[in-house]
Amino acid sequence: MNCTSKAHSDLPDLIFSAALEEDLWPEVLDRLLHEFHALHAALLIHQGGGKKSKIYQTRGNDPNWQHVFEERFHECIPLLHKAMHKAKHLLKHGAVSTGDRLLPYGEFIRTDFYRDFMRPQNLHHQLIAVLDAQAGAVSTLTLSRSKQLGAFKGEAVRGLKALVPCLRKALRVNHRMAGAGQDDIVSREVLDLLPLGVLILNSKGKVLEMNRRAVALLGEHDGLGIGPKGLKGFRSRDDSRIQGMLAEALKSAGKKGQKGSILLIPRPSRKPPYSLIFIPAESRPEWPGRTSVGCVILVSTLEGVSTVSRGILKSIYHLTEAESRFAAQLMLGLSVEESSRNLDLCVETGRTYVKRIFSKTGTRRQGELVHLLVEGPARLLLGGNGKP
């Protein structure tokens, strides 16, 4: 399973939201506790061959026990310490193991860590996922169960392993964003999490970077492609329109308050047209290599716009889950009545949601709202908060 799988409901969407908002990690861990029938969850960073561990996030235990861990056991967790020296293959990227694979249960229950920390909390069985492993440091997610709940079996191992790519990517993005300044451009991991095609262009219109979605869309060769000078349309009329709008966007780069421009490009396959949104870079951030960014182009189709993650809407615009669902309907061009019917709501409730969404996004019309919801992720990429 990858991050877009329907397994575990909307958990991958919530994990992505945590990549943008660190405060959502406790909610992620709570959901993992529920999904895997566990009592305790912890995100830990281990350094120095397992000799020193730091709690990044934890849920399910009394805060006093966290202090016990930090005071007595942060320098050695037996499961990880032994694995780092004798079973390193179990600590590779993406590995998921039960505790007894890292350290036989008979040995584990004889350790001070078990007697003085785990057993008093009624924690006896562990499931450990390796989210990152590099340069002597290992980041893990550990889920723990009581004796009554029993050991983790193969289904739990497979389920957690399926979520590891989402968790790993989100955690990396979270760390990088936490260390970035206001004017720093967000790392490539964020680009690949977005469901829209994203092209980063320099001040001369040359493509510096494309995310996976952009590569996939342009790889269809359905009216758009990349030429020696950058993004191009297959038909001369379309190419002329693209180059004209790109020139205007680059001309506006570096100026505050510039709005993005939308261009629809027909597709020879007669599928829904491409929607291109040209976003001038307000602060001219630098891409790796000290190259000045001129603008961002978002590429999507009607289907692409409809899949914009509710996590993005919630994270950037602080919409509730219900408001995010309603906004996603409006982005399809549906009326308030049609959106309400699709979500089994009365029209009055739908109108109430629209008023709240308009208020939170600073918009007044549906067309303006759709423009903002699609443009917002690009503003985030350029160091803003996605709001008007």
34 and 137, same domain (yes or no)? yes
- If you write DSSP's letter for every residue of 173-204 in order, what string do you get? HHHHHHT--TTSPPPHHHHHHSSSEEEEEETT
381 located within any domain: no
Q: Which of 178, 202, 226 is the last residue in one of the domains?
A: 178
- The pLDDT of residue 278 is 85
Q: Which of 138, 155, 178 is the last residue in one of the domains?
A: 178
263 and 210, same domain (yes or no)? yes
155 and 16, same domain (yes or no)? yes
Question: Of 184, 183, 190, 246, which is closest to residue 21 (Cα–Cα)?
Answer: 190
Range of the domain at 101: 11-178
The pLDDT of residue 288 is above 50 = no
384 located within any domain: no
- The pLDDT of residue 1 is 39
131 and 274, same domain (yes or no)? no
327 and 275, same domain (yes or no)? no
195 located within any domain: yes
For position 293, which CATH number holds?
3.30.450.20
Backbone phi, then psi, for 296, in 5-degree steps? -120, 140
H or E, element range at 53: strand 52-59
Q: Could you report the per-residue pLDDT of 138-173, keeping only the tens digit for each?
A: 788 999 999 999 999 999 999 999 898 888 877 776
Determine the Cα–Cα distance for residues 337 and 330; give it in Å rounded to an integer.
10
Residue 183: pLDDT band (50, 70, 90) is very low
Q: Whole-prediction pTM value?
A: 0.51
Domain count, the chain: 3
User: How many CB atoms lie under 10 A from the CB of residue 298?
Assistant: 26
Q: Tell me which amino acid residue 160 is.
A: L
Residue bearing tokens 């600073």: 362
290 and 333, same domain (yes or no)? no
261 and 329, same domain (yes or no)? no
Q: Tell me which amino acid residue 149 is.
A: L
- The pLDDT of residue 39 is 93
pLDDT over 70 percentage in the chain: 68
- The pLDDT of residue 279 is 81
70 and 151, same domain (yes or no)? yes
The pLDDT of residue 31 is above 80 = yes
362-378 in b/e form (b: 16+ CB < 10 A) is ebeebeebbbbbbbbbb
- The pLDDT of residue 381 is 45
Is the distance from CB of 128 to CB of 139 less than 8 angstroms?
no
17 and 159, same domain (yes or no)? yes
Is the distance from CB of 210 to CB of 218 less than 8 angstroms?
yes
387 located within any domain: no
150 and 238, same domain (yes or no)? no
76 and 132, same domain (yes or no)? yes
Residue bearing tokens 């310490």: 81
Q: Which of 257, 278, 306 is the last residue in one of the domains?
A: 306
215 and 274, same domain (yes or no)? yes
Backbone phi, then psi, for 141, in 5-degree steps? -110, 125
